Amino acid sequence: MREWVCENCNLVFLSEEPVSCPRCSSKKLRLKRKEEDEKSEAKDLKAGACINCGGSEFILDWKKREKICKKCGSIMPLVRMH
């Protein structure tokens, strides 16, 4: 069994030779690389970090309810705290 990634919904699943994604039925599939495993482990270590680069410094835009990563420029929604 090998790990596959759906390029449509980013689902990671195990299969020998898949025809389509089990979640969204997309045929856009590729094999998962070792580099992706290392990146996902690094992202899991920091809570509240940037989802793309793992950065922890942000510019907060309260009016648009967004936070912008200073490292890579990714725009993410601000999570509302109760």
pLDDT in tens, 4-29: 999 888 888 899 989 999 988 999 99
Which pLDDT band holds residue 45 (cuts at 50, 70, 90)?
Answer: very low
Q: In terms of Cα–Cα distance, which of 42, 62, 60 is closest to 52?
A: 42
Q: For residue 52, what pLDDT is reported?
A: 78
Say if pTM beats, i.e. exceeds, 0.85: no
Which pLDDT band holds residue 54 (cuts at 50, 70, 90)?
Answer: confident
With b for 16 or more beta-carbon neighbours within 10 A and e for fewer, the 24-49 pattern comes to eeeeebeeeeeeeeeeeeeeeeeeeb
Measured CA to CA, the distance from residue 53 to residue 17 in angstroms comes to: 31
